[in-house]
């Protein structure tokens, strides 16, 4: 084995970010550091730093390697000995899949994973909500603003406990009404990120309060100079228009310098897919799985 894997840690995030910035394609949401850190416990993630690349391996629910992170164009992949440490690769961005198809030919098989594609939107469109396609969403936003005594605030460490309390209420409601192992796993990831809010570089977030109580929050991270990814966004659906409000207000107040916002994947959930498509994505980011060798 050539690669020396170790647990994902906060103290190597700057090295990881340097590799991420070296990728020739805008990376998918999977590879933002907060996503790696948040889901490290559930997927039992490890990483290895080798020859300018960061290799990520998951051990749950099945062993597999994620796409390596770094300057892909600099490598002769067909002769890369580190590839031998894993034969199944997942979360492969389209650019790298194309490089590997050329490098490995018949020694590799690729499968397009539609459920994993990222939805990327125009920030300007989601702030303005202009036009017929956004008419219903703008109405819901306006109804929220008129009906409730609301307060928008950027998220800081001083309000993390309030946000965690709201998240606990949110997950309790879902466990009682629609139990889901995926939501329990996500809850763990959210807790890991929020409790390290001040230790993870570049995170930004916001809360919405009504009558002083947190009823919605969002957590995001820049992926590059022009694109931000929304990692988590939760709201109390007892407040009509809550998701339209937290989405629009956050982008207007803390995301307006970006061109694009990545709102991650739908995981094959029919309702979630319908909701994400209704926001008129600018483009999708394809992902693949591969068996190599």
Same domain membership, residue 126 and residue 260: yes
- Asked, for residue 291, whether it belongs to a domain, the answer is no
pLDDT for the residue 142: 98
Same domain membership, residue 131 and residue 112: no
**What domain count does the chain have?**
2
How does the average pLDDT of the chain come out, rounded? 96
pLDDT tens by residue, 261-282 = 999 999 999 999 999 999 999 9
Same domain membership, residue 58 and residue 195: no
Which of 81-85, 135-139, 179-183 bottoms out in mean pLDDT, i.e. has the lowest?
A: 179-183
Decide: helix, strand or coil at residue 141. helix
In this model, does residue 177 exceed pLDDT 80?
no
Same domain membership, residue 94 and residue 81: yes
Same domain membership, residue 187 and residue 83: no
Please say whether the dihedral angle defined by the alpha carbons of residues 98, 111, 92 and 120, taken in this order, is positive or negative.
positive
pLDDT for the residue 175: 77
Same domain membership, residue 53 and residue 168: no
Bond into 61 cis (ω within 30): yes
Average pLDDT (111-124) is 98
pLDDT tens by residue, 43-68 = 999 999 999 999 999 999 999 999 99
pLDDT for the residue 1: 67
Average pLDDT (141-151) is 98
Q: Looking at 78, 94, 117, which one is the last position of a domain? A: 117
Q: What's the CATH code of the domain at 106?
A: 3.40.630.30
Q: Looking at 74, 97, 117, which one is the last position of a domain? A: 117
pLDDT for the residue 183: 87
> Encoding tokens for residue 81?
């000995």
Question: Which of 131, 150, 141, 136 has its CA nearest to residue 251?
Answer: 141
- Asked, for residue 270, whether it belongs to a domain, the answer is no
Same domain membership, residue 205 and residue 238: yes
- Asked, for residue 280, whether it belongs to a domain, the answer is no
Residue-range definition of the domain harbouring residue 201: 118-264
Question: Which of 80, 96, 97, 88 has its CA nearest to residue 59?
Answer: 88
Q: Cβ(206)–Cβ(250) under 8 Å?
A: yes
> Encoding tokens for residue 5?
């894997």
Average pLDDT (229-253) is 97
Same domain membership, residue 106 and residue 148: no
Same domain membership, residue 248 and residue 218: yes
Same domain membership, residue 176 and residue 134: yes
CA–CA distance, 236 with 215 (Å, rounded to integer): 5
Same domain membership, residue 166 and residue 37: no
């Amino acid at each position: 084995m050539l690669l020396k894997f170790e647990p994902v840690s906060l103290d190597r995030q700057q090295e990881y970010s340097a590799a991420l910035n070296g990728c020739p394609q805008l990376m998918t949401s999977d590879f933002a550091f907060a996503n790696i850190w948040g889901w490290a416990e559930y997927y039992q993630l490890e990483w290895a730093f080798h020859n300018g690349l960061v290799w990520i391996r998951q051990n749950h629910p099945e062993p597999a390697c994620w796409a390596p992170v770094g300057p892909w164009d600099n490598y002769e992949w067909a002769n890369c000995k580190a590839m031998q440490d894993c034969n199944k690769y997942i979360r492969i961005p389209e650019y790298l899949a194309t490089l590997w198809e050329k490098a490995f030919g018949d020694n590799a098989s690729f499968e397009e994973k539609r459920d994993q594609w990222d939805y990327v939107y125009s920030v300007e469109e989601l702030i303005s909500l202009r036009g017929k396609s956004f008419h219903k969403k703008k109405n819901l936003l306006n109804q929220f603003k008129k009906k409730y005594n609301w307060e928008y605030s950027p998220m800081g460490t001083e309000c993390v406990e309030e946000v965690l309390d709201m998240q606990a209420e949110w997950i309790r409601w879902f466990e009682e009404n629609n139990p889901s192992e995926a939501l329990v796993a996500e809850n763990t990831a959210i807790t890991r990120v929020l409790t390290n809010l001040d230790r993870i570089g570049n995170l930004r977030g916001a809360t919405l309060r009504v009558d002083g109580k947190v009823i919605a929050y969002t957590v995001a991270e820049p992926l590059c100079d022009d694109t931000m990814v929304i990692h988590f966004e939760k709201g109390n659906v007892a407040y009509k228009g809550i998701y339209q409000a937290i989405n629009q207000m956050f982008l207007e107040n803390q995301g307006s310098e970006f061109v694009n916002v990545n709102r991650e994947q739908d995981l094959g959930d029919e309702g979630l897919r319908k909701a994400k498509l209704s926001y008129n994505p600018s483009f999708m980011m394809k992902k693949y799985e591969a068996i190599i060798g």
